[in-house]
């Protein structure tokens, strides 16, 4: 199900940072193996090894995402839960299969939105739609995600479709693409970085709350 | 028609502030009796008793709305005019009946948008759609409001539907919900507070203008 | 095809500035003669006479657009390329014919978005849709533009339809309309002015790049 562990965040961060510096790489596609894109943060790790702002693999991954200077695409099939959806808010072009299901059930776990999603999601879909999704924890499908403008296309083979668009973008003058992405981000970059810090603090406090402990216990009981 | 008077604003403000402080209350639904949600500010009161920024029931209501820390839902049937629509921009989840009709005809009355709507509405629906609605004064129905992302669902019984969602949200961990709403608002709260002040000044000036007096006279003549 | 030359920018700027100051003018419609709205900046002029921020007709036109205090409508038929589309982001109400085709192929020419479009377009249509349009250079039609909220109506005779709406707006109390537009712009005006400066610098640098020279040569070869 591709639940993310600390090691996986670290690998993602270093891969993105290497791609940013590698002159030969024009675009990156986030894709998955198996039936599901990403089940979110591993719940066991939330308890045994909670991330902190100043020194954690999660923070390094989010920083790499926020600052990635080249086109970032994503190919999503199956479930994209928690950070599996919030990482997409930093992507430029997202292709989904009809099976894609997006959810950010932070409040249901006693947690709060992360990865800048409390800033980026309402600005993408409007405050009211974002409030409803975050407050109820409800998921939404590929068609809704396309209507919202999160997903560019719904395709049977999202990796092939994302690769085709990545190739199209890779043919463009590379400095123009990098400068265009920087311009598009310039009006929100610092605000997103700031909100990520606040989210992180509230998230860390929430992880230690009784609310979250109860929710995690219920989650584990349901899975067993 | 539920035109709002100073007493009604004061009652709304104190009810919201009490609900904010009451630990037993998890969510609030704004709903109406009769066929129409709210006809806006009472036109007679605009003339006899114009609101001022520093000391008015309207200002207290708007402040209570802006700062309400818990989920705020609304159930709208029939007409929502002026502040009847602009108060919705501060709500988290809005359910409308098919009869709902939204309008913000401030300019037609020689007035300007209020309640933060000049900031919130273009950010919800895009600048061009907001400009058209404000400049022409034209109304829009439930289907448009849903497409715009203002309304979550169109239901035959909006109060029942809003209550069902409020109950769903009330089951979530309460601190997580409050912190999530605070995060969602954090990127715009101060900007909205600032724009409300500017709107209030322009609105108060407009109330004393010849344009508005003429428009009010025409409005009264049309009603009689 | 209405490619814009320096003289045309200067004429547009002075016409807008005159209209802003003329008490008898309540609204302005940007319209075109011939089959196409605007083919963008003349490519030959980009090479022979590149615009600069501090002293150019382009900069004067963009400043006039940004600061135009009255309702600005547009009637678009056929192609709206480059600045032909980005100028629309500053308009209040846009009517398009079914033949309208919008594109901002800056990156394909080795250039970057201009006229505040790197700020305004993602805020209108969402970051992901904007990133895709800018990075691929692909065009979009009237139906998409209406879904995005850029276009208010698709009409057979866009000039007649825009004139009807302009007349409707012209009947409104004029000071209320001017103050409403000022309020709608107040939350973004300074940010747009600032981003325009950054865009201009990156654009000027890009015009002198090898990437852009190659792209211009290809463009000219394709046309001949």
Residue carrying the six token digits 């009237």 = C142
Chain C partners within 8 Å of B137 (Cβ)? 172
pTM attached to this predicted model: 0.96
Q: How far is A9 from chain C (nearest CA, A)?
A: 23
Give one DSSP letter per residue of C181-220, joined into a string: HHHHHHTTHHHHHHHHHHHHHHHHHHHTSHHHHHHHHHHH
Q: Pick the closest to residue C78 from C40, C139, C35 (CA basis).
A: C35
Structure tokens at A209: 């709350």
Kindly report the CATH number assigned to the domain that includes residue B75: 3.90.226.10
User: Which residue, among B89, B104, B107, would best test binding to C if mutated, counting the most C CBs under 10 Å from its CB?
Assistant: B107
Write out pLDDT tens, residues A113-165.
999 999 999 999 999 999 999 999 999 999 999 999 999 999 999 999 999 99
| Residue owning tokens 């929430």 | A206
The CA distance from A144 to the nearest CA of chain B, in Å, is 12
Residue C165 lies in a domain: no
Q: Which two tokens stand for residue C188?
A: 């973004």
A125-147 burial, b at 16+ Cβ within 10 Å, e below that, comes to: bbbbbbbbbbbbbebbebebbbe
Determine contact, residues B184/A104, Cβ cutoff 8 Å: no
Inspect the interface and report whether the beta carbons of C128 and A124 lie closer than 8 Å: yes
Residues across chain B: 224
Give the β-pairing of A28-30 and A72-76: parallel
B31 belongs to a structural domain:
yes
A222 exposure class (CB count in 10 Å sphere: 0-12, 13-18, 19+)? exposed
The answer to whether residues C104 and C134 touch, using CB atoms and an 8 Å cutoff, is: yes
In a domain, B191, yes or no: yes
> Which residue intervals of B187-224 are DSSP H helices?
189-207, 210-223
The predicted pLDDT at position B54 comes to 67
- Is A113–B180 a contact, with Cβ atoms under 8 angstroms apart? yes
Query: Touching check for C150 and chain B: CB below 8 Å?
Result: yes
Burial class (CB within 10 angstroms; exposed 0-12, middle 13-18, buried 19+) of C193:
middle
What is the predicted pLDDT for the residue at B108?
Answer: 95
Interchain CB contact of A154 with C (< 8 Å): no
Structure tokens, A216: 């995690």
Contact C176 B136 (CB under 8 A): no
List the C79-81 sheet strands across, edge first.
C79-81, C101-103, C140-141
Distance from CA of A121 to the nearest CA of B (A): 9
Q: What's residue C223's pLDDT?
A: 72
- The stretch A164-184 carries a mean pLDDT of 97
- Structural domain contains residue C168: no
Q: Do B92 and A135 touch (CB under 8 A)?
A: yes
Residue C161 pLDDT more than 90? yes
A181 contacts chain C (CB < 8 A)? yes
The span from the CA of B204 to the CA of C188, in Å, is: 23
The answer as to whether A127 is a domain residue is yes
Closest chain B C-alpha to A11 CA, distance in angstroms = 29
Q: CA-CA distance, A115 to A102, in Å (whole number)?
A: 15
Q: Is residue C152 part of a domain?
A: yes
Burial class (CB in 10 A: 0-12, 13-18, 19+), B120: buried
The conformation of residue A199, written as its DSSP 8-state character, comes to H
Query: Given strand B101-103, what is the order of strands in its sheet?
Result: B79-81, B101-103, B140-141
Give per-residue pLDDT as tens, A32-82.
Answer: 999 999 999 988 888 888 877 667 899 999 999 999 999 999 999 999 999
The per-residue pLDDT string of chain B (224 residues; one tens digit each, 9 = 90 and over) reads 899 999 999 999 999 999 999 999 999 999 999 999 999 998 888 888 887 766 789 999 999 999 999 999 999 999 999 999 999 999 999 999 999 999 999 999 999 999 999 999 999 999 999 999 999 999 999 999 999 999 999 999 999 999 999 999 999 999 999 999 999 999 999 999 999 999 999 999 999 999 999 998 888 888 76
| pLDDT for the residue A16 | 98
Residue B168, in any domain of the structure: no
Q: Please check whether residue B11 lies inside any domain of the structure.
A: yes
Range of the structural domain that residue A135 is part of: 3-159+174-223
Give the pLDDT score at C54: 67
Of all residues in chain C, the percent with pLDDT exceeding 70 is: 98
Backbone φ and ψ for A18, nearest 5 degrees, come out as -65, -45
* Interchain CB distance below 8 Å, B135 and C94: no
Q: Which of residues 76-95 of A touch C (CB under 8 A)?
A: 89, 91-94
pLDDT confidence of C183, banded at 50, 70, 90? very high
Smallest Cα–Cα separation from B196: which of B80, B90, B38?
B90
- Could you tell me the end-to-end alpha-carbon distance of chain A, in angstroms, rounded to an integer? 16
Q: Which of C188, C166, C202 is nearest to C66 (CA)?
A: C188
Contact A135 B93 (CB under 8 A): yes
Q: Which two tokens stand for residue A140?
A: 């939404």
pLDDT (tens digit, 9 = 90+) per residue, B131-161?
999 999 999 999 999 999 999 999 999 999 9
User: Given a contact as 3+ CB pairs under 8 Å, which chains touch A?
Assistant: B, C
List the single residue in C89, C169, C186 with the smallest CB-CB distance to B135. C169
Q: What does the alpha-carbon distance between residue B32 and residue B16 come to, in Å, rounded to a whole number? A: 15
> What is the C-alpha to C-alpha distance for residues C112 and A216, in angstroms, rounded to an integer?
47
3-state secondary structure of C37: coil
Give the count of domains, chain A: 1
């Amino acid at each position: 199900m591709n639940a993310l562990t600390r090691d996986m965040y670290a690998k993602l961060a270093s891969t993105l940072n290497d791609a940013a510096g590698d002159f030969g790489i024009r675009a990156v596609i986030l894709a998955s193996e198996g039936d599901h894109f990403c089940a979110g943060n591993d719940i066991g790790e939330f308890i045994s090894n909670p991330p902190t702002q100043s020194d954690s693999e999660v923070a390094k991954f989010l920083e790499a995402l926020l600052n990635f200077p080249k086109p970032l695409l994503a190919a999503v099939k199956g479930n994209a839960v928690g950070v599996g959806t919030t990482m997409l808010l930093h992507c430029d072009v997202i292709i989904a299969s009809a099976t894609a299901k997006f959810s950010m059930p932070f409040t249901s776990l006693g947690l709060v939105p992360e990865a800048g999603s409390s800033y980026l999601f309402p600005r993408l879909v409007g405050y009211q739609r974002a409030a409803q999704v975050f407050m109820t924890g409800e998921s939404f499908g590929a068609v809704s995600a396309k209507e919202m403008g999160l997903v560019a296309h719904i395709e049977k083979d999202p990796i092939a479709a994302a690769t085709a668009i990545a190739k199209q973008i890779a043919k463009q003058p590379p400095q123009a693409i990098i400068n265009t992405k920087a311009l598009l981000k310039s009006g929100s970059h610092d605000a997103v970085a700031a909100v990520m810090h606040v989210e992180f603090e509230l998230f860390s406090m929430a992880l230690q709350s009784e609310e979250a402990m109860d929710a995690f216990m219920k989650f584990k009981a349901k899975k067993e």
